[in-house]
């Protein structure tokens, strides 16, 4: 039996029907990773997906919506890496390290988060941190300050690390050579004016960015334990 031609979808229609918001987001992430935020255009996205811009607009309103969705996808994956049932401190460290790695792998995420303040990607991070801070017994009036400190440290350091990596990559700078040159300069500073810088010059050659980042998280967690101890002493 010959099928009714009117009921048989044509090629372009089948392609558009197979186009989903998830496919658009994944393609957007690939463009952002390879070309940065400036490379994410509906024209480039249409070419990558082999479809028309109209089909994409059916799923997303504009570039801002698309950037937020792409950012949220990365953040959601990072949140999923947090171990269920772990201690609050361990969860905070896992989240922090996950964000450090995510922003290192997708440098545009740091910038995207600043544009989506108050929207779902940022809310996911704040909620996760807030729940852990509460579980640590921080007083209600101090919770926002603690969450804010963690949030700004994580995003600030992770963003700066990603920026440094991008800077070195675009200029073909070798990290070891760069740090060795910096350490040499610091070691030759005036010992009276810069005693501390001279004393840590040797550590510059071998320091690990990720280890330094986690050390900062541990310092904040130590401060949280101090807040709890003060509360116990006052009661």
pLDDT at 234 over 50: no
Q: Could you tell me what percent of the chain has a pLDDT over 70?
A: 88
Query: Which fold would CATH assign to domain 71-173+205-234?
Result: Tetracycline Repressor; domain 2 (1.10.357)
User: Residue 138: phi, psi to the nearest 5?
Assistant: -70, 135
- The answer to whether the beta carbons of residues 75 and 121 sit under 8 Å apart is yes
How far does Cα 229 stand from its chain's mean position?
32
Structure tokens at 105: 């792998």
Domain 9-60 coded CATH 3.30.465.10? no
Q: At 42, list the tokens.
A: 């509906």
For 192-205, what is the mean pLDDT? 94
> How far, in Å, are 24, 37, 39, 51, 56 from residue 47 at the CA level?
12, 17, 12, 7, 11
Instruction: Kindly state the average pLDDT of the residues 31-45.
Output: 93
Structural domain spans, the chain: 9-60, 71-173+205-234
- For 138, other C-beta atoms within 10 Å of its C-beta total 21
Per-residue pLDDT of 113-159, as tens digits, reads 988 778 889 999 999 999 999 999 999 999 999 999 999 999 999 99
Greatest Cα pair distance in the chain? 95
CA distance 221 to 8: 62
Least-confidence region, from 13-22, 48-57, 113-122, 173-182: 13-22
> Which CB contacts under 8 angstroms, 24+ apart, belong to 128-136?
128/79, 128/82, 128/91, 128/95, 129/92, 129/95, 132/88, 132/89, 132/91, 132/92, 132/95, 133/88, 133/224, 135/88, 136/88, 136/89, 136/224, 136/228
Look at residue 155 in the predicted model and tell me its pLDDT.
95
Work out the number of other CB atoms within 10 angstroms of the CB of residue 171: 8
Q: pLDDT value at position 230?
A: 58
Which two three-digit tokens encode residue 208? 């690990």
Out of 48-57, 146-155, 164-173, pick the least confident.
164-173
| DSSP three-state, residue 19 | coil
Reduce the DSSP state of residue 214 to 3 states and report it. Answer: helix
**CB contact at 8 A, 186 and 204:** yes
Residue 87: closest CA among 208, 224, 230: 224
Look up the pTM and report it.
0.83
């Amino acid at each position: 039996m010959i099928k009714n031609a009117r009921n048989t979808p044509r090629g372009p229609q089948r392609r558009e029907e197979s186009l989903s918001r998830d496919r658009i987001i994944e393609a957007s992430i690939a463009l952002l990773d390879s070309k940065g935020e400036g490379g994410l255009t509906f024209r480039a996205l249409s070419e990558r997906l082999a479809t028309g811009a109209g089909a994409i607009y059916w799923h997303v309103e504009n570039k801002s919506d698309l950037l937020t969705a792409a950012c949220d996808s990365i953040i959601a994956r990072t949140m999923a890496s947090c171990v269920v049932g772990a201690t609050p401190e361990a969860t905070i460290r896992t989240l922090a390290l996950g964000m450090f790695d995510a922003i290192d792998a997708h440098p545009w995420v740091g910038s995207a988060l600043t544009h989506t303040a108050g929207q779902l990607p940022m809310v996911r991070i704040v909620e996760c941190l807030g729940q852990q801070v509460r579980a640590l017994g921080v007083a209600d009036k101090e919770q926002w300050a603690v969450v804010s400190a963690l949030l700004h440290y994580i995003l600030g350091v992770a963003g700066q690390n990603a920026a440094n990596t991008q800077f070195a990559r675009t200029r073909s700078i070798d990290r070891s050579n760069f740090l060795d040159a910096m350490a040499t300069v610091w070691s030759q500073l005036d010992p009276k004016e810069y005693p501390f810088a001279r004393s840590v010059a040797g550590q510059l050659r071998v320091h690990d960015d990720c280890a330094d980042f986690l050390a900062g998280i541990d310092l904040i967690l130590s401060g949280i334990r101090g807040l709890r101890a003060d509360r116990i002493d006052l009661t």
